[in-house]
């Protein structure tokens, strides 16, 4: 009786187990985690890494535009309220103005001219503000069309944030 065959089988079994243990790690990879920009929309294809990069950059630009626009809105509202109050004060002052006093009439007319100049400057700033709001709305619409509700892989987003 020969013990060579069982020993060879044992060595063969050991080498097979070692080969299986040394298989590439790709066989045991975890599935990639997905995330979504906004609310998930079923059936949307995953964003490629370049699309995700563009969407993240666009989202950052929109946030910056909002941060820049909100203070302008508050300042314009405050200025508009002040101009309206100044206009009401001038209207209330007009009936009590002594038309025979040239200095009083000249001062009143100068205040009206200064207010009119301030109103023109206000209108110019309001037009600038409105143009920025329209651009922001256009950017938001483009973002919603191209990015909102689209899924992506979290590891790709992390790589983008790291500058890769």
Q: Is residue 106 within 8 Å of residue 35, measured between CB atoms?
A: no
Residue extents of the structural domains in the chain: 34-161
Strand partners, 152: 35
At residue 8, φ and ψ (nearest 5 deg) are: -65, -40
Predicted pLDDT of residue 97: 84
pLDDT at 7: 57
- pTM of full prediction above 0.75: no
- Give percent of the chain above pLDDT 70: 78
State pLDDT tens for residues 24-40: 544 445 567 777 777 77
Residue 55 has a CB neighbour count (10 Å cut-off) of: 20
User: Which pLDDT score, from 0 to 100, does residue 27 have?
Assistant: 46
CA gap 83, 77 in Å, rounded: 10
- Pairwise CA distance, residues 91 & 116, whole Å: 13
Q: Which pLDDT belongs to residue 9? A: 52
pLDDT for residue 21 is more than 90 = no
Pull the structure tokens for residue 5.
């065959």
């Amino acid at each position: 009786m020969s013990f060579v065959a069982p020993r060879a089988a044992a060595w063969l079994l050991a080498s097979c187990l070692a080969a299986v243990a040394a298989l590439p790690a790709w066989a045991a990879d975890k599935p990639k985690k997905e995330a979504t920009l906004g609310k998930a929309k079923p059936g949307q294809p995953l964003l490629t890494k370049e699309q995700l990069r563009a969407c993240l950059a666009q989202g950052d630009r929109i946030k910056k535009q909002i941060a820049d626009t909100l203070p302008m809105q508050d300042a314009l509202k405050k200025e508009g309220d002040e101009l309206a109050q100044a206009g009401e004060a001038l209207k209330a002052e007009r009936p009590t103005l002594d038309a025979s006093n040239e200095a009083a009439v000249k001062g009143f007319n100068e205040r009206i001219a200064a207010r009119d100049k301030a109103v023109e400057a206000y209108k110019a700033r309001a037009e600038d503000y409105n143009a920025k709001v329209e651009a922001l709305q256009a950017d938001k619409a483009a973002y919603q069309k191209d990015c909102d509700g689209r899924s992506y892989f979290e590891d790709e987003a992390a790589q983008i944030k790291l500058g890769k």
